[in-house]
Amino acid sequence: MGDAEKGLFSVIEKLKGKTEQELRIVLLGLDNAGKTTLLKTLASEDVNTITPTQGFNIKSVTTNGMKLNVWDIGGQRNIRTFWKKYLENTDLLELSELIDEENLKGVPILIFANKQDLATASPASEIAEGLNLHTYRDHEWQIQACSALTGEGVQDGMNWFCNSIVNKKK
């Protein structure tokens, strides 16, 4: 579906009175993990010129009838100490190191196994095993193989997230 069709579709939904659910997502990861590329892919923006994030980027993206306010927070070591300040009212967590934070209890975890377009990329199953995702009993989780550069797998991860939020609200 093209951008014009998506725009028209969202206008029609609003005219029909369908209200959009608004969620906050925090993208965390190590420096050069592809967070900004992922954000730009979600926003249907050009990914050919990406520079390291100094601080954070914020974009609003509409998908599956939900408005996602996505915070892309820089991954440099000197910024990581500030990550916890961005977590209040977060609806999606993308970094397992913060799993025990009290204000994130029950928040679904989506881990993008990015850069799958590279021959050196570890398979998603290997990453899941290395992160011991099977031990997370208090969080619904998903690991999604993707390439933020090509967009492959990105929408699959977002669909899982939106479905998990809808099911959680039931």
Please indicate whether residue 144 is annotated as part of the active site: no
Q: What is the pLDDT of residue 5?
A: 47
Which one is the CATH code of 3-169: 3.40.50.11540, 3.90.1640.10, 3.40.50.300, 3.40.50.1220? 3.40.50.300
DSSP string covering 53-77, please? -SSEEEEEEEETTEEEEEEEE---H
Q: Which of 76, 142, 144, 155 is catalytic?
A: 76
pLDDT in tens, 101-143: 777 888 888 999 999 999 999 999 999 998 888 888 888 999 9
Who contacts 122 (Cβ-Cβ below 8 Å, separation ≥6)? 113, 130
Q: Does 40 belong to an annotated binding site?
A: no
Rg (CA), the chain: 16
Closest C-alpha among 98, 94, 99 to residue 113: 94
Q: Does 6 belong to an annotated binding site?
A: no
Q: What is the pLDDT of residue 146?
A: 97
Please give the C-alpha separations between residue 131 and each of 74, 92, 99, in angstroms, as whole numbers: 21, 17, 11
Closest C-alpha among 124, 101, 110, 23 to residue 67: 23
Contact 161, 112 (CB under 8 A): no
Q: Does 124 belong to an annotated binding site?
A: no
End-to-end CA distance of the chain: give it in Å, rounded. Answer: 29
**Distance from the Cα of residue 139 to its chain's centroid:** 16
The reported pTM is: 0.71
pLDDT in tens, 69-112: 888 877 666 666 666 666 666 665 565 457 777 778 888 889 99
Output the six-digit token pair for 142: 């998903």
